[in-house]
A and B are shown apart, each in its own frame.
Chain A
């Protein structure tokens, strides 16, 4: 379990980019009050999904408008083809923690080269 940020630091409608892990993880606080964590890096080209647009339970990549379902990581809109991973989220003592996925990430070509 990796501490991310205080719950109070992540208001509804906002995202937090956890960059102490590689690849980084994006945590979203939806307008409905749910917390979700997915890989921060779009699987199409290296862009931060935390910088994207949160709408309901979806995030839209700011670069090419690929959309990912925060609950499943699946692609809802092209050009991305591969899903992002989802990660567990735990809130304890007003702090948000992430439980990283064991699966291999689907990183875009540029980001893959750098982390390999």
Chain B
């Protein structure tokens, strides 16, 4: 079952696993997300996780607050709602 990813009020798509990470999937949707290392240590792609759960492919080294996550090294575990800063 692909997970639904909601970004703000207008955009939602399904994460079907054809992209390795959420960041790749967001870029496929032509969404502009800031990024640098794409490996979880710089924290540039930090987004807000409003609802749902994600799972990290690699545990990030960058500092991540409770309601935040790094799309560069994660995939959705359930349907999620996120906010790109």
State whether these chains interact: no
Which residues of chain A have a CB within 8 Å of any CB of chain B?
none
Which residues of chain B have a CB within 8 Å of any CB of chain A?
none
